[in-house]
């Protein structure tokens, strides 16, 4: 159990309709250990159960359709078999006192014909091939040349989001997170570098934001807005050298303001180059949060001191940790006790079985913390640090994809 050490990061709150035990979220982490049918094995039950002391678990990105899949061994949430497998996960997390939302994913152009039904081309706002890599049964390959979506196909994609949300509800999740970050389909529509359309979904900021807003509207109507979060990454290249939007402040500012009117559970931002330097000094995430108006989850290279300061100062309602949750299933307890974290090897991130997935050990009570400074003293130090800082400690860079 988490110690009651008087630090807000470790205290309960409510995020939309979801009561959370602390302000620490587990960021979405693709681990590529599901079957090729997108059905999780029982290993995923154990993996998520081990991490249930997070206030909120955001699942790995989960495909809303086969068309939306871009990486081998990623899970889905569009068939009854997916629902049954995820239900076992949500029950395990709930039995352990945790909360869990499902991250809804459509990769757009970040896919390969071998992962698509009947080997067809992946879809995108415009026929512009990504230069990065996706993971197929043949290993890492360049994404295939995508086909630009016809205007009349877009309602079908929105329907896939609706279906996935219904399935997530059936599977016992506490909510869904719309993945509009990291240069996947919704982000490809948002950015003028990947969206060259001339219909109502391209051109002006309003048009480029239209699909994300229509998806959020559809998903909120199927469930309830206070069960729906959204993830954005305004200045993230994410995979390889994906170009940014030419005016991220205007584009994402408009979107955040529009999203604010839905009264969603939260806005979750990757602040900077994902897994790299926290870019909160280069982009005004506070202004984005203000435009949105609701709860805010901050992510990207946070450590204990910065997380404590961000919540204490009111900068964020929750902090999402990604890589630290891979090697530290009991991350919340470790942060509360201020004991060392284990840095999981990047080779363990994607693919394989239990090794590097469910075999990381929790901190045990019989091992003494190496750091024995008084909590209050550390809190003072953390709050004295200027926040947001521009140069957090770097972590080992993983190979592979986001």
Ligand X SMILES: Cc1cc2nc3c(=O)[nH]c(=O)nc-3n(C[C@H](O)[C@H](O)[C@H](O)COP(=O)(O)O)c2cc1C
Residues carrying an active site annotation: 184
CB of 199 to ligand X, least distance (A): 28
Residue 350 neighbours by CB under 8 Å, 6+ apart: 30, 31, 32, 135, 400, 401
How far apart are the C-alpha atoms of 26 and 186, rounded to whole Å? 22
Question: CA angle, 209 as apex, 216 and 161 as ends, to 5°?
Answer: 30
How far apart are the C-alpha atoms of 25 and 108, rounded to whole Å? 26
Q: Which of 301, 311, 335, 356 binds ligand X (CB under 6 A)?
A: 301
CB of 65 to ligand X, least distance (A): 16
Q: Within 81-120, which residues bind ligand X (CB under 6 A)?
A: 103
DSSP letter for each residue of 58-77: EEEEEESSSTT--STT--BS
Q: Within 139-168, which residues bind ligand X (CB under 6 A)?
A: none
CB of 316 to ligand X, least distance (A): 13
Q: Which of 61, 219, 297, 344 binds ligand X (CB under 6 A)?
A: 61
- Assess 212 for contact with ligand X (CB under 6 A): no
**From residue 319 to residue 358, what is the string marking binding to ligand X with x (rule CB under 6 A)?**
--xxxx------------------------x---------
**Coil vs helix vs strand at 296:** strand
How far apart are the C-alpha atoms of 320 and 33, rounded to whole Å? 22
**Residues 197/126, Cβ–Cβ less than 8 Å:** yes
- Assess 60 for contact with ligand X (CB under 6 A): yes
**From residue 303 to residue 322, what is the string marking binding to ligand X with x (rule CB under 6 A)?**
------------------xx
Q: Which stretch binds ligand X (CB under 6 A): 119-127, 137-145, 187-195, 297-305?
A: 297-305
- Assess 300 for contact with ligand X (CB under 6 A): yes
Dihedral of the alpha carbons of 3, 270, 274, 111, in degrees to the nearest 10: 120
Q: Which of 275, 289, 306, 334 binds ligand X (CB under 6 A)?
A: 275
Q: Which of 33, 231, 304, 306 binds ligand X (CB under 6 A)?
A: 231
Two tokens at 365? 């009570």
- With 0-12 / 13-18 / 19 or more C-beta atoms within 10 angstroms meaning exposed / middle / buried, residue 314 is exposed
Range 8-31 burial, b when 16+ CB lie within 10 A, else e = bbbbebebbebebbbbbbbbbbbb
Q: Which stretch binds ligand X (CB under 6 A): 22-30, 85-93, 242-250, 368-376?
A: 22-30
Strand intervals (E) in 21-87: 24-26, 56-63
Nearer to ligand X, 221 or 399 (CB): 399
CB of 329 to ligand X, least distance (A): 15
- Position of minimal CB gap to ligand X: 322
Residues at the site binding ligand X, with contacts judged by CB under 6 A: 27-30, 60-61, 103, 179, 181-182, 231, 270, 274-275, 299-302, 321-324, 349, 398, 402
């Amino acid at each position: 159990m988490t110690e009651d050490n008087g630090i807000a990061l470790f205290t309960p709150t409510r995020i939309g309709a979801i009561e959370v035990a602390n302000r620490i979220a587990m960021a979405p982490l693709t681990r590529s250990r599901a079957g090729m049918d997108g059905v999780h094995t029982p290993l995923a039950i154990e993996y998520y159960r081990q991490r249930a002391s997070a206030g909120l678990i955001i699942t790995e990105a989960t495909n809303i359709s086969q068309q939306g899949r871009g990486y081998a061994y990623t899970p889905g949430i569009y068939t009854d078999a997916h629902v049954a497998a995820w239900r076992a996960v949500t029950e395990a997390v709930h039995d352990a006192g945790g909360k869990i939302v499902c991250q809804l994913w459509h990769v757009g152009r970040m896919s390969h014909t071998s992962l698509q039904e009947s080997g067809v081309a992946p879809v995108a706002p415009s026929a512009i091939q990504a230069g990065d890599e996706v993971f197929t049964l043949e290993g890492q390959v360049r994404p295939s040349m995508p086909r630009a979506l016809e205007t009349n196909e877009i309602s079908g994609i929105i329907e896939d989001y609706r279906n996935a949300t219904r399935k997530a509800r059936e599977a016992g999740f506490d909510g869904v997170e719309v993945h509009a970050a990291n240069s996947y389909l919704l982000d490809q529509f948002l950015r003028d570098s990947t969206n060259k359309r001339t219909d109502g979904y391209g051109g002006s900021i309003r048009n480029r934001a239209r699909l994300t807003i229509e998806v959020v509207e559809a998903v909120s109507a199927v469930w309830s807005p206070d069960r729906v979060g959204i993830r954005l990454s305004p200045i993230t290249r994410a995979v390889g050298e994906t170009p940014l939007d030419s005016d991220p402040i205007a584009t994402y500012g408009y979107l955040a303001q529009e999203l604010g009117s839905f009264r969603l559970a939260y806005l979750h931002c990757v602040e900077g180059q994902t897994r790299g330097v926290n870019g909160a000094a280069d982009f005004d995430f506070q202004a984005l949060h203000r435009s949105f108006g609701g709860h805010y989850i901050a992510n990207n290279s946070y450590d204990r001191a910065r997380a404590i300061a961000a919540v204490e100062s009111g900068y964020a309602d929750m902090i999402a940790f990604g890589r630290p949750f891979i090697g530290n299933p009991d991350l919340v307890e470790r942060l509360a006790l201020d004991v060392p974290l284990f840095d999981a090897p990047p080779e363990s991130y994607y693919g394989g079985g239990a090794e590097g997935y469910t075999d990381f050990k929790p901190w045990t009570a019989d091992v003494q913390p190496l750091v024995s400074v008084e909590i209050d003293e550390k809190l003072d130090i953390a709050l004295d640090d200027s926040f947001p800082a521009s140069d957090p400690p770097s972590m080992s860079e993983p190979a592979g994809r986001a």
